[in-house]
Amino acid sequence: MEGEQALYRPEAWFRAARGPRYEQLYRHLSAAIAAGELPPDSRLPPERELALIADVSRVTVRKAVSQLVEDGVLEQRRGAGTFVKPPRSRIEQSLSALLSFTDYMRQRGKTSSSRILRRGLFLPTPDETIALGLSAGERVARVERLRFADDIALALEWSSLPTDVLPDPEVVETSLYDVLRAAGTAPTRAVQRIAAVNLTAADAKLLLLPEGAAVLRIDRTAYLPSGRPIEFTRGLYRSDIYDFVAELRLGAS
């Protein structure tokens, strides 16, 4: 109990001039949960007790705790208290099969959905021009989405395609690959580049993660059988939920 209380004492989390107390307490608890110092199913002290140990007001405790509930790392169980939520099962995604987000989730019996952040025809960036082999003056079709599985925000994706492949980005409602398949322009090969990055404040807000949280960034360039690149998608994927698995064979090149 003593050891447990030390986690909440002001010495453990409060620094003068490092921002509001509720924010510091929130970040501290979030890190303690991520590090396993507060293991799944452990119970937080009741609000009044926690306020006493942490030497803050109950309002401060409530604000930090409700943010963690909103992040999905704590849950309030009626009549029992506030608990660390057990981790979600991880999603394994094969790096050798060319599937879409909707396909992966369907395979796992999950319901996928998307929130469209922006869609339309734009002037391409130099990266898009190179990845898609666009000519000078050509515009690019873009679809920017926040992607959910069973209502949990898992990924942010920015997809760019040549306008003859996707003349009207507005038609992408759920699955981009379903739209391409229907038009006979689904890619058959892709190259992916994977990196670990830290979330900016704006992206963290959308994914309901703390700012700076580590995520996987995957850039996919996908090609038609002719070798023409028709999709460039940059995605940020929750690394606490996703595992990208690659199968390796001796002698294969």
Which positions lie near ligand 16G, rule CB under 6 A?
100-102, 157, 159, 175-178, 192, 218, 220, 231, 233, 235
Of 139 and 181, CB closest to ligand 16G: 181
Of 123 and 191, CB closest to ligand 16G: 191
Distance CA 145, CA 156 (A): 6
Of 71 and 157, CB closest to ligand 16G: 157
Cβ at position 1, least distance to ligand 16G in Å: 45
Cβ at position 234, least distance to ligand 16G in Å: 9
Cβ at position 210, least distance to ligand 16G in Å: 23
Distance CA 164, CA 146 (A): 24
Of 5 and 192, CB closest to ligand 16G: 192
Cβ at position 96, least distance to ligand 16G in Å: 12
Of 13 and 242, CB closest to ligand 16G: 242
Of 68 and 218, CB closest to ligand 16G: 218
Per-residue HEC secondary structure of 129-195 comes to: HHHHCCCCCCCEEEEEEEEEECCEEEEEEEEEEECCCCCCHHHCCCCHHHHHHHCCCCCCEEEEEEE
Residue 5 exposed, middle or buried by CB count within 10 Å (0-12, 13-18, 19+): middle
Distance CA 16, CA 41 (A): 32
Distance CA 176, CA 180 (A): 6
- What number of H helices and E strands is found in the chain? 9, 10
107, containing H or E segment: helix 101-107
Cβ at position 192, least distance to ligand 16G in Å: 6
Other CB atoms within 10 Å distance of the CB of residue 30: 20
Cβ at position 59, least distance to ligand 16G in Å: 41
